[in-house]
Amino acid sequence: MTVSPRVVRVIVRIVAAAGSGGILYLSFPPRQLWFLAPVAVAVLVVTLRGRSNPAAAAYGYLAGLGFFVPLLPWVGAYVGAAPWLALAAVEAVAFGVFGALAAVVGRLPGAPVWMACGWVAVEAIRARVPFGGFPWGRIAFGQPDGPLLPLAALAGAPGLSFVVVLLGAALAAAVVALRTKQPQMLIAPATAVAAVALLVWIMAPAGTTEAGERSVTVALVQGNVPRLGLDFNAQRRAVLDNHVQRTLELADQVRTGQVARPEIVVWPENSSDIDPFGNPDAAAQIDRAARAIGVPILVGAVIAQDNGTSRNTLVVWDPASGPGQEHDKRQLVPFGEYLPLRGLMTRLSSYAEQAGNFVPGTGNGVVDIGGVPVAVATCYEVAFDDLVTESVRAGAQLIAVPTNNATFGRTEMTYQQLAMSRVRAVEHDRAVVIAATSGVSAVVNPDGTVEQQTALFTPDVLVARVPLQTTTTLATRIGPAWEVVCTAAAVAALVAAAFRSRRRA
């Protein structure tokens, strides 16, 4: 049986589209293959060239599946494949939208620029809808080990995504120019690459951030959990005791001069799943740890409400006065910490009943710990541009990311989250400290480098002197402006392409 050349071409495009998503996945941590991201974009753009809008959308969707399916297995680590694959299928729609958009604007002069704008616009939408959005897997979050990272200080994660896609689309344009033997078409991609290289060269000194006027010694306590999986919450007292014990051991090391005395101690999210306001024994244990170390502890606690809901809270626990300022997690995890459409979802899946009934907090995310204004981005919150930006604009000089990754086992989730934290450090020129129940805990310098890091599922304590920055980057000042500009440019390009097509008709 002879397969027609047309069928062969379609099969090749299907493989290329799905493969481009796989290449993009390989560019993400824990691998340090950041340079594969522009290659992945180039493969996708070449695959989309000359396709109709529906076909381009289909190929884009395949690319999305090729990316999100291997990126997100942690979602179903202990609840099965269905939630993982469903989320991957939904998120891949964004790639399909980009595919259709790229097929249209790809016919315009300066196509790489309009494609990059379109990508940023699609990521902006995906970061906000549905159910508050899911920014995980933004192309910028795969770049913490690459030379483009300093550019995050200019236009944040959206700007970093823009540059990566611009380079990929320019590479695709160069490939097409060489294949079609039209050397004049190399001018535009060469100009784009030169402009990016110039920006990187200008921003390179930002990679070595000078120490701020002040600094602070921070201790991060990783108490570990009794065992992997969702049932670690059933041993909530053991988790609390682990963090108390590690803090007591730290206090002994301070007294004997083995380590420097910290001025701030950070415990992870859910380090006290026992409500310390409703359980005196839990409060007594936290008091014991705070008095032993003699400095405030930022404690992750679950606070029960009279109406049956709960708050995922970080409490500043002072050794003298006890509990003080609080930060309630503002961006909750849908289908995890709360259940959208609860009545419908519980009928569709037995797993839905496991979702929590948390309520989101308000405020700017800043708490005062020992006189230091600290931005608290609880776990999932670090993925959201606006939350961290609001906190830094409100005066935060340090970013803390208390997180609980125990429910995701030994998957890549914690390394993906660490990569986001490194981007945030550069974006806002702030040190970032990550305290995780089971790892990875880390100390990240304002230039995005990791100074210290723990292993997974081992009790540990990190102590580091970190700078307190007061200056603000351009990215902090402009906030979402780059997303707005790119979205407007993408819409204008679509209108121009439609007008151009109508004139030709």
Which amino acids are annotated catalytic? 269, 329, 379
User: Which of these, 262, 259, 257, lies nearest to 435 by C-alpha position?
Assistant: 262
Instruction: Say how many Å lie between the first and final Cα of the chain, rounded.
Output: 41
For residues 104 and 95, give the distance between their C-alpha atoms in angstroms, rounded to a whole number.
14
SS3 of the chain: helix, strand, coil, percent, to 5: 55, 15, 30
Residues 6 or more apart from 353 whose CB is under 8 A from it?
346
Closest among 153, 160, 141 to 415, alpha carbons compared: 141
**CA–CA dist 188, 173 (Å, integer):** 8
Gap between the Cα atoms of 401 and 249, Å rounded: 23
For residue 277, what are its two tokens?
């306001």
CB 381 within 8 A of CB 330: yes
Residue 248: name the closest of 178, 319, 312 by CA.
Answer: 319
Instruction: Return the DSSP state at 382.
Output: G
Amino acid type, 310: S
Nearest to 427 by CA among 151, 203, 148, 213: 151
| Nearest to 468, CA basis, from 378, 391, 374 | 374
CB of 469 closer than 8 Å to CB of 430: yes
d(CA 381, CA 421): 10
For residues 305 and 315, the answer to whether their CB atoms sit within 8 Å is no
Distance of alpha carbon 271 from alpha carbon 314, whole angstroms:
10
Q: Residue 144 in 3-state DSSP? A: coil
Nearest-angstrom CA–CA distance, 151 and 426:
8
Strand partners, 376: 400
Token digits of residue 482: 């780059």
> Distance between CA 359 and CA 446 in Å, rounded?
32
